[in-house]
Amino acid sequence: MPAYNGQPDFLGLPPRSPKPRSSGLTHVMDKGLNIREIEGLFDTAGEYVDIVKLGWGTSYVTNNLEKKIALYRSLDTPVVCGGTLFE
């Protein structure tokens, strides 16, 4: 049995360029994640996350918005407002 290299053999995924990428961007919607959930997301999949969108007007009602934005910035990940209020 071949050694596991972190990718299943049956998917045949192409190599991924390192961040910051100019193509093949992955966009993640933050639907109200708290600080610990953001940290967990980036511990697990941070190398794949290129842009975070604050969804459904959560940027308007989030108590710790400044902390969340600061955390995303410290992770070198742009964060944008989204949802019906901004579209």
In a domain, 10, yes or no: no
The per-type count for the chain, helices as H runs and strands as E runs, is 3, 3
Our count of domains for the chain comes to: 1
Question: What value does the mean pLDDT take over residues 20-45?
Answer: 93
Q: Is 36 helix (H, G, I), strand (E, B) or coil?
A: helix
Whether 2 maps to a domain, the answer reads: no
Residues 42, 79: Cα–Cα separation, whole Å? 14
- Residue 64: pLDDT band by 50, 70, 90 thresholds? confident
Q: Which residue has the higher pLDDT, 14 or 66?
A: 66
Q: Which of 46, 49, 54 is nearest to 80 (CA)?
A: 54
Domain that holds residue 47: 27-86
- Condensed to tens digits (0 to 9), the pLDDT of residues 34-43 reads 999 999 999 9
